Structure 1
Amino acid sequence: MSATSKRSGSRTRLEHMIQTLREEIVTGQRSAGDYIPPELSLCEQFQLSKKTVRKGLDVLVGEGLLEKVPRIGARVTAAAQPEDVVIKFGYYPKLVREIKLQQMIDAFHELHSHIRIQAIPVSHHYDKTRNIQRLQDDSLDVLTINAHDIEYFAGPDKDEDADTCPLEPLTPVDGVYPFLEQPFRRDGKLYALPFVFTPVILCYNKEHFLEKELPEPDSSWTWDDLQQAGRTLSNGVDRFGFYFHLPSGNRWPLFLLQHNVVFQTDEQGRYILNDSKVKGALSACRDLVRDPKLFPVFLSENDNDAHALFMNRKVSMILCTYDSLNDFESAPFVYDIAPVPYFREPKTLLGAIALAIHARSGKKPAAKLFLDFMLSHQNQMYLRLNTLSIPGLKRAAEWVGEGGTDNITNRPYRFHMYRDIIPTFRFSSTLQLPIDRLLQMGQELKLYWSQLEELDTILDQLEDKFATSASGG
C-alpha cells in the first residue's frame, strides 16, 4: 500500500471517529460530565495513532462538545437537548427536484429523531451585506451555497475578507473530488463542503440524428461542426438544430472561457472590457444565435424554456447542465450527452453546490451531524441511484453496478462522460470578473444579440458603469 493510500485511510478513520463521538454526544448517548474512552482505547477501536486520535479530540473540543481534563481524560461538556434541537436549513428550491431533498431530510429524521430540519427556501442576493443580514434575520444554521454566491459571503481570496466571513470553517470530507473545494476556500480555510456538481454539457436527441443519418456529437466537435449538423437537423419552421437560454450566467460566458478571456484592470482599477479577445468571443456567440437556419427566434425567460423545447422535440441539441437532466427523466425519446463543442481548446463551465454552517449558529454540533449525513456514502449513493445529479463524493458518483440498484430508467448512455472531461472544467471565477458584473454584462449584451446596439458601445458603457459602481458613485 502506498503512503498516499495509508494517509487517505487514516483520514477516513479519523472522520469516522469524530462523527461517531459527535453523534453519541449530540444524541445524548453520552451525557454532560461523562468521560469518553481513553486515548489508547480509541486508538484500538478506530485503528488510529495516538497523535491522530488527539487531533480528532481537538476538533470536538473546538466544537464545544468535549473538554480535556489534565491527567484524567476528555469529558463531555455539551448537554444533549434532543427535544429542542431544530436546525434551520436554507436551501435552493430547485434541489427539491434535482436531489430529492425532502426524501434526504426524511431519512435524516429517521436516524436522528431528536433533530428536526426546518427547510427554508432561499435565493441569495448579489450583495454581501444583505446576505449576511439574511443569515441573522432567518437564524439559519445550515445553508446551501454555490460557486457564485460564495463571493457574497466570503469575498475574494484575501485575508481581510476571510476574517469577516459569516460562515464556519469546516474540515474537508475525505473522498470528495478535490477540485470542487477550490471556490469555497478563502485564506486557506474551507467554508463550505461540496455536495453536488454540474458541468455544462451538450444534450441531444438521438432519434433526430438517426433520422438524418448524422454522426452523433463527440469530444472532437468544434462549434463549426455543431453549426453544420444543426442546420441539417433543422427544418427552419417547427424544428431547429440548437438552442440555449442566452442570458444565463452559466451559458454565454462559456464563449469567453473558450476564447481564453481573463478580464484585466487598468492602472485606475477599471475593468478592461473593450478588448479583442472579449469581442471575438461575443461575436462568435452572436454568429451562432443569429443563424436563422440553426437557432430559433424565441425569447426564453429561463433555462426551463430551453428544456421544454427539447422535450417537445422542437430543438435537437441544447446546452444544459448535468442537474438539468433530471428534467428529461421522462423524455418520450432517446437522448444522450456529449462534451460542449469548442473553439480553440476544450473548456466548459462548472457549477457546484456546497453546504455551509452559519458561524454564529448556536447549534453547530447538530448542524455538523446533518452535514455528516448529507455527505455520507449512504446518502451520496441515494443521490447517485435516484437522480441524474452528480454526487460530490467520488466513490458514489462513479458507482457502476455494485451495492445498489439504479432507479433511473432513462439515464443517458454516456452519463459517466463527466469523468473524461474533468480537465476541461473551469469555474466562472477563471474569468476574474465578479459574478454581479458578469450577470450585468449579460443583461446589457441582450441589445447586441438583438442587433439593437453596437458591441463597442455596450462594452464602453459597461466599463463606465463598473467604474462608477466601484467608486460608489
Structure 2
Amino acid sequence: MSGKTSQRLFRARLERMTEQLKNDMMSGALAPGDFLPSESALAEQYGISNKSVRQGLDVLVGEGLIRKIPRVGNQVTETAKELQATVTLGINSSLERDMAMSELLASFSRKYPSVRVRTITIPGNSRQFVKEYAESPLLDAFIINHQYFQSMEESGLLSTLEPLTPAEGTYRVLEGGFTADGVLYGQPLLFSPLVLCYNKDHFLEAGLPEPDSSWTWNDCIGTARRLTRRRERYGFVFYVMSDNRWPAFLLQSGEAFARGPDGGCDIAGTGLLDGIRLCDAIIHDRDMFPSVLSESNDDIGRLFETGKVSMMLTSYMSLNELKHSDIRYDISTLPYGREPRTLTVAMAACIRKGSADKRAAKLLVDYLSSVEGQMLIRRQTIGIPAIKPAAEAEVGEGLNRPSRYDLFRDIWPTMRFHRDLNLTSEGLGKLWGLLKTYWSHLIDDETLCAQVRDQLSDHVRHRGAGPVR
C-alpha cells in the first residue's frame, strides 16, 4: 500500500470514529456524564493506533464535547447537548401511503430522541419545486423522484446537494437515476415498476385464464372487453393524467426521441407514434375503459376495490390502497407493444449542502436507507424497499399483498425510467401538453408530428440521427 493510500485510509477511519462518537452524542446513546469506550477499545474498533485515537479525541476536547479525566477516561460534557437539532424534511403528499412516513419518523425519533424532524409538503410539479424549494433554506433534506432530480440537474442545482455514499445493499440500477458525473446525490429509498393488477374472482367467474408475461396489449384489450358487464363493471382502467403511467406506452416502442440529420425531431412512422396511438385507442374504448370515472388515482383505487373494474395499470406504491382490503387480487407484468418494457418510479432522499443541521440530516437519511428503516417500509407497505436485503425479505401476514409480490425480481431487464425517452424535464412537460390535445381528438397525427418537431427538437437530451433504439 502506498504512503498516500495509507494516509487517506487513516484519515477516513479517524473521521469515521469522530463522526460516530458525535452521532452517538446527538442520538443520546452517549449522554452528558457518560464515558467513552477506552482508547484501546476504540483503536481496535476503528483499526487505528492508540496514538491516532488520542488525536481524534483531542478534536472532540477542542470542540468542548468531552473532557479528559486522568486515569479515569473521556467523559461527555454538557456541551454535547448542543448537538441536538431540528431537521426539516420536504416530502410529497403520497409518502405517508407509499412508505409509512409517520411510522418511519416515529421510529427514528425513538432511536435518536435528540433530533426533531419537521416535515414540509413540497409541490407535486418538479419544475415548481426547483423554482421555489430546491435552494430554500427552509429545507435540510427532501425526498424526490428521479424526475425531480433530472429537473435539478438541468437547472444546475446539483451543487446545492451533499454528495452521498451509497447505502450497502442498494439495487445499483436505482442509484443511476440520482447520480451525475459519478457522484450520488440521492439515496434511493423505494421504487416500483408499473404492473397489471387484476381481480382474481372476476377472471374465475368469467372462466378466463389469468394474465401472464406473454400478454400483449391485444390480449389485454380482448380480455378486458369480455370482462366488462354493462352497468356493472369495466374491464380495464388507468389514470391517464399521471405522468407515471402514459410514458410506458412510448417506452415500449423501444425507441427514444432524437434529432435527425437536419436537427429536427420527427416521430412520423416511428414506434413512438404507434405507442401514442395505442394509448389513444385504449382510453377511448367504451367497451372496456371508463373515462369519466378515471380522473384521479383515488378514483382508480376505489373502482378496483369496489369491483367496478377488473384490471388496472398501477404501481406497487398505489397498491397500498388495497393493503387493508378484502379483495382477492394479484399482479402480472405489463402487457407489451413492440417490446416488453415497463416504466419504473424511484424515490430518493437528498441532503441540502447548505443545511444548518447537516449532520442531523445525514443521520435521518442514513436511517431511512438502513436495513432497520427499509424493513419497516417492507413490513408496513406494499412498496419495494431500495435495498435488496429488505426488498427480498420474508414478512409475516397482516397486509393484503399480491402473491406475486416478488415479480419485480424477474423483470429488471424490462424496467425503464422517464429519462430513457431522451427528453429534458421541460420537454416531457411539453410532450404531455401535446398528447392531451391529441388524445382529446383536437389534432390529428400529422399535426401532432409537426408540433412535436416544432416544440420538442430543442428538448432532446442527446443528438442523434433518427429514433434512438
Q: Given the two structures, how large is their TM-score scaled by the length of structure 2?
A: 0.82
C-alpha distance in 1 between matches for 2:295 and 2:264: 31
2:377 corresponds, among 375, 383, 387, to 383
Q: Which residue of 2 aligns with 1:435?
A: 425
- Letter aligned with residue 401 of structure 2: R
- Letter aligned with residue 133 of structure 2: R
Trace 1:317-466 onto structure 2 (pairs within 5 A): 317-401=311-395, 405-408=396-399, 410-466=400-456
Contact 1:131 1:152 in 2 (8 A): yes
Q: Which residue of 1 aligns with 2:198?
A: 204
- Letter aligned with residue 106 of structure 2: D
Report SS of the residue matched to 2:159: coil
- Letter aligned with residue 292 of structure 1: R
Report SS of the residue matched to 1:88: strand
- What does the per-residue CA deviation read over 1:107-158, in whole Å, with 9 as the maximum and x for residues that have no partner? 1111222110011111254438x626524445200100111100122238xx
Q: Which residue of 1 aligns with 2:113?
A: 113
Q: State which drifts further: 118-127 or 339-348.
A: 118-127
| CA 269–42 in structure 1, closer or farther in 2 if over 3 Å, else same | farther
Q: State which drifts further: 271-280 or 231-240.
A: 271-280
C-alpha distance in 1 between matches for 2:350 and 2:271: 36
Aligned-pair CA distance for 1:432? 0.5
| CA 22–83 in structure 1, closer or farther in 2 if over 3 Å, else same | closer
Aligned-pair CA distance for 1:261? 1.9
Aligned-pair CA distance for 1:266? 4.1
Contact 1:386 1:406 in 2 (8 A): no
Aligned-pair CA distance for 1:379? 1.7
Contact 1:236 1:294 in 2 (8 A): no
Contact 2:259 2:457 in 1 (8 A): no
Q: State which drifts further: 143-152 or 16-25.
A: 16-25
Q: Given the two structures, how large is their TM-score scaled by the length of structure 1?
A: 0.81
The question of 1:23 aligning with 2:23 is answered yes
Trace 1:9-408 onto structure 2 (pairs within 5 A): 20-27=20-27, 29=30, 41-42=41-42, 44-45=44-45, 80-82=80-82, 85-123=85-123, 125-127=125-127, 131=130, 133-155=132-154, 161=156, 165-266=159-260, 270-298=264-292, 300-401=294-395, 405-408=396-399
C-alpha distance in 2 between matches for 1:422 and 1:397: 14
Report SS of the residue matched to 2:144: strand
Report SS of the residue matched to 1:453: coil
- What does the per-residue CA deviation read over 1:345-370, in whole Å, with 9 as the maximum and x for residues that have no partner? 31101100000000111211111111
- What does the per-residue CA deviation read over 1:397-427, in whole Å, with 9 as the maximum and x for residues that have no partner? 11114xxx4431x111111111111121111
C-alpha distance in 2 between matches for 1:328 and 1:86: 34
Q: Which residue of 2 aligns with 1:5?
A: none
Aligned-pair CA distance for 1:373? 1.3
Aligned-pair CA distance for 1:233? 0.5
Aligned-pair CA distance for 1:390? 0.9
Report SS of the residue matched to 2:120: strand
Contact 2:169 2:389 in 1 (8 A): yes
Report SS of the residue matched to 1:342: coil
Aligned-pair CA distance for 1:15? 12
- What does the per-residue CA deviation read over 1:55-95, in whole Å, with 9 as the maximum and x for residues that have no partner? xx9xx99xx999xxxxxxxxx9xx64447511011111111
- Letter aligned with residue 117 of structure 2: I
Q: State which drifts further: 208-217 or 218-227.
A: 218-227
- Specify every segment of 5 or more residues in structure 1 that has no aligned partner in the other structure, as ranges: 1-12, 67-75
Q: Which residue of 1 aligns with 2:9?
A: none
| CA 154–451 in structure 1, closer or farther in 2 if over 3 Å, else same | closer
Contact 2:90 2:120 in 1 (8 A): yes
Aligned-pair CA distance for 1:19? 7.4
- Letter aligned with residue 317 of structure 1: M
C-alpha distance in 1 between matches for 2:219 and 2:319: 23
- Letter aligned with residue 413 of structure 1: S
Contact 1:27 1:80 in 2 (8 A): no
Contact 1:126 1:436 in 2 (8 A): no
Structure number with bigger Rg: 2
| CA 126–242 in structure 1, closer or farther in 2 if over 3 Å, else same | same
Contact 2:27 2:111 in 1 (8 A): no
Report SS of the residue matched to 2:133: helix
Contact 2:240 2:246 in 1 (8 A): yes
Contact 2:426 2:459 in 1 (8 A): no
RMSD: 3.5
Aligned-pair CA distance for 1:214? 0.5
Q: State which drifts further: 113-122 or 277-286.
A: 277-286
| CA 16–414 in structure 1, closer or farther in 2 if over 3 Å, else same | farther
Report SS of the residue matched to 1:154: helix
Aligned-pair CA distance for 1:453? 1.7
Contact 1:385 1:406 in 2 (8 A): no
Aligned length: 430
| CA 379–406 in structure 1, closer or farther in 2 if over 3 Å, else same | farther
C-alpha distance in 1 between matches for 2:230 and 2:31: 70
Report SS of the residue matched to 1:175: coil
Aligned-pair CA distance for 1:100? 1.4
Aligned-pair CA distance for 1:451? 2.5
| CA 366–287 in structure 1, closer or farther in 2 if over 3 Å, else same | same
Aligned-pair CA distance for 1:44? 2.9
